[in-house]
Chain A
Amino acid sequence: MLPLHGERQDAKGIISDKINSIETLRGSSTVKRGFAHMLKNGVVMDVTTVEQAQIAEEAGAVSVMVLDKLPSEVRKAGGVARTASIRIIEEIMDSVTIPVMAKCRIGHVNEALVLQETDVDMIDESEVLTPADELRHIWKWDFTTPVVNGARSLAEALRRIEEGASMIRTKGEPGTGNVAEAIKHIKKVNDELRTIKSIFDSGDNQDLVRMAREFKVSYDIVEQTAKLGRLPVVNFAAGGIATPADAAYLMSLGCDGIFVGSGIFNSDDAKERARAIVLATTFWNESDKVKEAQKMIDERQSMIGLDVNTLELRMQDRGGSA
Chain B
Amino acid sequence: MSLTVGILSIQGDVQENHLSAKAAIDELGIDVQVVDVRTPEEISKLDGLIIPGGESTTIGQLSLVNGSLKVLKEKIQNGMPVLGICAGMIMLSNTANDRVIGKTEQPLLNILDIKLERNSFGRQKESFESDVSLDSINIPKFNGVFIRAPSVSDVGSDVEILSKFNDRIVAVKKGNVIGTAFHPELTEDTSLHKYFINLVNTSKN
Contacts and interface: CB of A to CB of B under 8 A. Distances in A.
A195 interface: no
B148 A99 contact: yes
A31 interface: yes
A180 interface: no
Given A94-B100, A96-B101, A34 B118 contact: no
A97 interface: yes
B13 interface: yes
Interface in B86-119: 86-87, 98, 100-101, 104, 118-119
Given A25-B130, A34-B186, A145 B55 contact: no
Interface string A81-103: 00000000000011111110000
Interface in A1-56: 1-2, 4, 17, 19-20, 22-28, 30-31, 34-35, 37-42
A146 interface: yes
A47 B179 CA distance: 33
Given A41-B10, A60-B58, A34 B130 contact: no
B37 to A, nearest CB: 13
A315 interface: no
* A contact residues, range: 35 or more
Given A35-B124, A42-B54, A42-B55, A25 B129 contact: yes
Nearest to B20: A1
A60 B63 CA distance: 11
Interface of A: 1-2, 4, 17, 19-20, 22-28, 30-31, 34-35, 37-42, 57, 60-63, 93-99, 116, 119-122, 144-146, 278-279, 282-283
A133 B87 CA distance: 39
B128 A26 contact: yes
B126 interface: yes
B183 interface: yes
Contact of B127 (A26, A39, A93, A94): A26
A38 B9 CA distance: 12
A62 B55 contact: yes
Nearest to A31: B127
B147 A57 contact: no
B12 A40 contact: yes
Interface of A is mostly: loop
B65 interface: yes
A26 B126 contact: yes
Contact of A31 (B55, B86, B122, B145): B145
B145 A30 contact: yes
B13 A40 contact: yes
A145 B53 CA distance: 19
Contact of B57 (A30, A39, A97, A144): A97
Nearest to A33: B186
27 contacts: A1-B15, A4-B186, A17-B128, A22-B165, A24-B128, A26-B125, A28-B129, A34-B127, A34-B186, A35-B127, A37-B53, A37-B186, A38-B13, A38-B86, A40-B13, A42-B58, A57-B57, A60-B61, A62-B54, A63-B55, A97-B100, A98-B57, A119-B123, A145-B125, A146-B124, A278-B62, A282-B10
Contacts of B57: 57, 60, 97-98
A119 B122 CA distance: 9
Given A30-B145, A122-B124, A278-B58, A40 B11 contact: yes
Given A24-B130, A25-B129, A38-B12, A31 B58 contact: no
A38 B145 CA distance: 12
Given A31-B145, A37-B186, A282 B125 contact: no
A144 B125 contact: yes
B67 to A, nearest CB: 12
A49 to B, nearest CB: 17
Contacts of B53: 37-38
